[in-house]
Amino acid sequence: MKRIPFILLALTMFVCLSAKAQAQSSIPQVEALLEKMTIEEKIGQLNLLTPGGGVATGSVVSENVEAKIKAGNVGGLFGVAGPDKVRMAQKIAVEQTRLGIPLLIGSDVIHGYKTTFPLPLGLAATWDMELINRTAQVAAKEATADGINWNFSPMVDISRDPRWGRISEGAGEDPFLGSAIARAMVTGYQQDDLTRPNTMIATVKHFALYGAAEGGRDYNSVDMGRVKMFNDYLPPYKAAIDAGVASVMSSFNDIDGVPATGNKWLLTDLLRDKWGFKGFVVSDYTSLNEMIAHGLGNLQAVSAQALNAGLDMDMVGEGFLTTLKKSLDEGKVTEDEITQACRRILEAKYKLGLFEDPYRYNDETRPEKDILSKDNRALAREAARKSFVLLKNENNTLPLKKDAKIALVGPLADSQNNMLGTWSPTGDTKYAVPILEGFKNVAAGAKITYAKGANISNDKAFAEKINVFGPRIEIDERTPETMLKEALEAAKKADVVVAVAGEATEMTGEASSMTSISIPESQKMLIRALAKTGKPVVLVLMSGRPLTIEEEMGLPVSILQVWHPGVEAGNAIADVVFGNYNPSGKITASWPRNVGQIPVYHSMKNTGRPELKKEWEKFKSSYLDVDNSPLIPFGFGLSYTTFEYSDIKVDHSEITQDQPVNISVTVKNTGNYDGEEVVQLYLHDVVRSITPPKRTLKGFQKVMINKGERKTITLTLTPDDLKFYNGNLDFIAEPGVFEVYVGGNSDAQLKTQFTLK
C-alpha cells in the first residue's frame, strides 16, 4: 500500500474539518436540534405540501397532510390561510410530533395579499422604488395577519418575450431596473427583522432564466451563453441575494441541458460559492419530479441529483420524502447533505422566531384591522394610477371633463372579474372596483351610458381555457352585431367615447403563452367602428404584457395602458381619465410592431451591419417589412403636460476606475399641468472587449415638476455602473469613451460623454 504523505493527510483533514465547521449553523439552538433528529425527521423537514381544496371547505388540512405532519414528514405548508386555520396546522406540528418543530407557512403573495396592487409589470411601470417597497410592506402586513410567514415573491425573471404569459409577473426587459425592483421588494417583505410579526421571508424566483424560455412557451428550454446570462439575466437575482433574501426558488426550465432544480452549477457553484447565499432553496411546484419528464431518470435518481445540486426543499412532489432514505442507504446521497438542507430550513424557522413562539402569526384580531384597510386600499389606488402609461393623447382628449356625456363601452368596462390580474390567488374579485363604478365615484356629474359592445373573445374554446379559475371571458347571448349596434348608439349620443378593451386576466400569467399578442379580433372590430364615428375615443387598454397595437396606434384614438390594475382599478382609472392624477408611468418592456420582431429591446447590439439611415438599405441587419425599432420604446410614456430636456453636463470629462461621475440635466415642465417625469440615463460603452449594447439603462429618477418649473436633475454613475462581465466572466470596466444619453425614454437624444482612464 502506498503511504499517503503526512502533509497531504493533514491538508485533507484540515479541509474536511473546515468544511464541517463551515456547515455548522451559527445558531446553537439549530445545532442542538439537529443532534436530536433522526434521519427521517430531517428528511421530513425538506418536504413542502399544499393541502389544496381541503382548506377552503373547512377542515384545516386534508387527511393525508394531517397524518404526514403528525408523522414529522412536513417542513412547511402553503395554500393554508387565516390565523385560526394556520394555528390548527401549527398546533399539530408543535404538539403532536416528537420534536415539535413548527411549520413554514408559504403563499404566493405576488402583487398584494387581499389588497391587490397592479400586476408586477404595471408596478414596474411606476419606476417608483419607494412606492413598490411600500406595496411589499403592506402585502407582508396583510399576509402575516393571515398566518403566512413565507412569500413566494419577488419574481425577477427578465423577459424580452411578450409571448411568454409570465412577463406580467416580472419587471420587464431590463436588469438595472429589475435589480432595483428586486431590492425594493425584498426589503419591503423582510424589512430588517424577520422576527417582527408583520414581516415575512421573501423568495426570489424563478432561479434562473425562466423568462428566456424558447419561443416564449412556458416551461420551455433555455439556452443562453454565459456572457448574456451574467450581464442581462442574472443581475436581479443577485440583487435580491445581496439585499438579504432568505430563500430562492429554482425554476422549471433547464440551463445547458440540466433542469435548474437539479443544476449544481446554478444552485451551488454560482448561488452559494460565488454569490455567498446563506438561505434555503425550494423547488418550484413539482419541478423536482418534472426532471423525470425532462429525461433525467426516475424519482429516486432525480431526487438524489437535486439534493446533490443544492436543493433544500421539495415543493409538493414528495420526491425527497419518499426516496432520500433509500438513496442514503445506497450511498447516492450523504447524511451531511440531508443534514445541511435540514439545517437551512431550521435556520429559516429560527430567523422567523417560530421556535420562540410558533403562533406569532396567529393573532385572530389582526385580519380585521390589517387586511383591506382604508390605508391599504388608498395605497392600491395610488400604485394603480402611477402604473398607467399614456401611450397616445389624440388632440389632448384626456383628461375628460367631470360633467361630460360619456359612452363607456367595451367588455372590460364593467367587469369586476378581470380587475385583479393574474397570480392574485389571495385576492378576491368581489372587492375589486369595476371601471363603471369608479367613473361614477370620481365624476358623479358625468352622464354615462354603458354598453358592453363586444365579447373579450368570441371563441368558446379559447374562453374555456381562460376561465379555469372562474368566469373571465363571458360570451354574451346577443350576437356581436347587436352588441356593436348598442355601443354605436351610445357613442352617437355622447361627447366622448371611452372604450375599455384588451386581455382578460388569465390571458397572461402562468401557462398563458400566446403566439398572437394583438387585441382579440372581436374587440378590434368594436374599436375600428368607434374610431369611425368621428367622436373622440379614448381606448383604455388592459393587458399583462406588451401587445401588438400598430393598427390602434394608427387610428384617431387616445390610448391609456392600465395593465390589470388591482382592487382599486375603477377608481384609479377614473382618477387619471378625469385628471385627478396626471399619468406618469413608463413601459418597462418594449412593445413590438409584430410578433415576428420578438425579441426587441432597448439594449440590443449594433451588429456589424447596423441600420444607420431611416430608409431601407440592402445588406443591413434589418427586415424587409418593418423597421428595427419597436412600436413603443422602453421607458416611453406621455403625460398631460410636456417636458423639455436641456443642458446636459458631466462633472468630469475624465475619471479613474474608482471615481463616480455625475450627469446633470435641466428638465422643464412646458405644459399646462403639474406632473411627474421619469428622467432616464442610458450608457454606451463605445469600445470594449465584447460587443457592447447600443445603449443600456444605468440610471433613473422620478421627479415632480410643477407647470412652468425647471429642475436640475443629477444622476450618478458609480464605478460598478461602468462594469460588465467580459469573456472570462470577470466584472470589469475597460478604459475608453462612454457616451451618455438622458431623456424621457430609451430613444433619448441629449448626449454627453466622458472617458474612463
Looking at residues 493 to 522 of the shown chain, list those that interact with ligand BGC (rule: CB under 6 A): 510
Task: Dihedral sign for Cα 114, 120, 125, 130, please.
Answer: positive
- Shortest Å, Cβ 284 to ligand BGC: 5
- Shortest Å, Cβ 152 to ligand BGC: 4
Q: Is residue 157 part of the contact set for ligand BGC (CB under 6 A)?
A: no
Do the beta carbons of residue 106 and residue 150 sit within 8 Å?
A: yes
- Shortest Å, Cβ 456 to ligand BGC: 24
Cβ closer to ligand BGC: 108 or 161?
A: 108
Q: Is residue 280 part of the contact set for ligand BGC (CB under 6 A)?
A: no
Do the beta carbons of residue 176 and residue 516 sit within 8 Å?
A: no
**Residue 131 CB contacts under 8 Å (≥ 6 apart), including other chains:** 382, 383, 386
Cβ closer to ligand BGC: 217 or 405?
A: 217
Contact pick of 285, 682, 738, 754 for ligand BGC (by CB under 6 A) = 285
Cβ closer to ligand BGC: 242 or 510?
A: 510
284 carries an active-site annotation: yes
Do the beta carbons of residue 115 and residue 371 sit within 8 Å?
A: yes
- Shortest Å, Cβ 285 to ligand BGC: 4
**How many H-runs (helices) and E-runs (strands) does the chain carry?**
24, 26
Do the beta carbons of residue 168 and residue 123 sit within 8 Å?
A: no
Cβ closer to ligand BGC: 17 or 511?
A: 511
Q: Is residue 314 part of the contact set for ligand BGC (CB under 6 A)?
A: no
**Residue 16 CB contacts under 8 Å (≥ 6 apart), including other chains:** none
Cβ closer to ligand BGC: 427 or 520?
A: 427
Cβ closer to ligand BGC: 510 or 550?
A: 510
Q: Is residue 152 part of the contact set for ligand BGC (CB under 6 A)?
A: yes
Looking at residues 108 to 127 of the shown chain, list those that interact with ligand BGC (rule: CB under 6 A): 108
CA 461 to chain centre: 29
- Shortest Å, Cβ 510 to ligand BGC: 6
- Give strand pairing partners of 605: 693
Cβ closer to ligand BGC: 54 or 570?
A: 54
- Give strand pairing partners of 668: 644, 710
Looking at residues 170 to 209 of the shown chain, list those that interact with ligand BGC (rule: CB under 6 A): 205
Binding pattern for the stretch 70-109 against ligand BGC, x by CB under 6 A and - elsewhere = --------------------------------------x-
Q: Is 713 left (phi over 0), alpha (psi -120 to 50) or beta?
A: beta
* DSSP character string of 492-518: HH-SEEEEEEE--GGGSSTT---S--S
Tell me, by CB under 6 A, how many residues bind ligand BGC: 6
First to last CA, the chain: 60
- Shortest Å, Cβ 91 to ligand BGC: 24
- Quote the Cα angle for 323-328-333, to 5°: 95
Q: In the structure grid, which three cell numbers stand for residue 701, read together?
A: 429618477
| 250 vs 262: CA distance, rounded Å | 9
- Shortest Å, Cβ 475 to ligand BGC: 28
- Give strand pairing partners of 731: 725
Measure Cα distances from 694 to 34, 201, 610 in Å: 54, 38, 10
Binding pattern for the stretch 230-259 against ligand BGC, x by CB under 6 A and - elsewhere = ------------------------------
3-state SS of 624-671 is CCCCCCCCECCCCCECCCCEEEEEEEECCCEECCCCCEEEEEEEEECC
- Shortest Å, Cβ 252 to ligand BGC: 7
Give kind and range of the element (H or E) at residue 343: helix 335-351
**Residue 155 CB contacts under 8 Å (≥ 6 apart), including other chains:** 110, 120, 166, 169, 170, 205, 206
Cβ closer to ligand BGC: 156 or 371?
A: 156
Cβ closer to ligand BGC: 266 or 555?
A: 266
- Classify residue 205 by burial, with Cβ atoms within 10 Å: 0-12, 13-18, 19+: buried
Report whether the peptide linkage leading into residue 206 is cis, meaning its omega lies within 30 degrees of zero: yes
Do the beta carbons of residue 237 and residue 207 sit within 8 Å?
A: yes
Do the beta carbons of residue 632 and residue 591 sit within 8 Å?
A: yes
The 10 Å Cβ neighbour count of residue 753 is 14
- Shortest Å, Cβ 26 to ligand BGC: 29
Cβ closer to ligand BGC: 37 or 202?
A: 202
- Quote the Cα angle for 114-115-119, to 5°: 100
- Shortest Å, Cβ 82 to ligand BGC: 18
Cβ closer to ligand BGC: 205 or 381?
A: 205
In eight-state DSSP terms, residue 682 is E
Cβ closer to ligand BGC: 285 or 581?
A: 285
Pairing of strands 731-732, 724-725: antiparallel
The 10 Å Cβ neighbour count of residue 224 is 15
Do the beta carbons of residue 149 and residue 201 sit within 8 Å?
A: yes
- Shortest Å, Cβ 322 to ligand BGC: 20
Phi and psi torsions of 405, nearest 5°: -95, 115
Residue 280 DSSP SS3: strand
Contact pick of 142, 174, 284, 552 for ligand BGC (by CB under 6 A) = 284
Quick one: which of 127, 8, 98, 108 has its CA closest to 48? 108
Cβ closer to ligand BGC: 108 or 575?
A: 108
- Shortest Å, Cβ 219 to ligand BGC: 9
| 51 vs 60: CA distance, rounded Å | 8
Task: Indicate which residue of 146, 161, 218, 284 is catalytic.
Answer: 284
- Shortest Å, Cβ 301 to ligand BGC: 23
Q: Is residue 218 part of the contact set for ligand BGC (CB under 6 A)?
A: no
Instruction: Using CB under 6 A, list all residues that contact ligand BGC.
Output: 108, 152, 205, 284-285, 510
Q: Which residues are catalytic?
A: 284
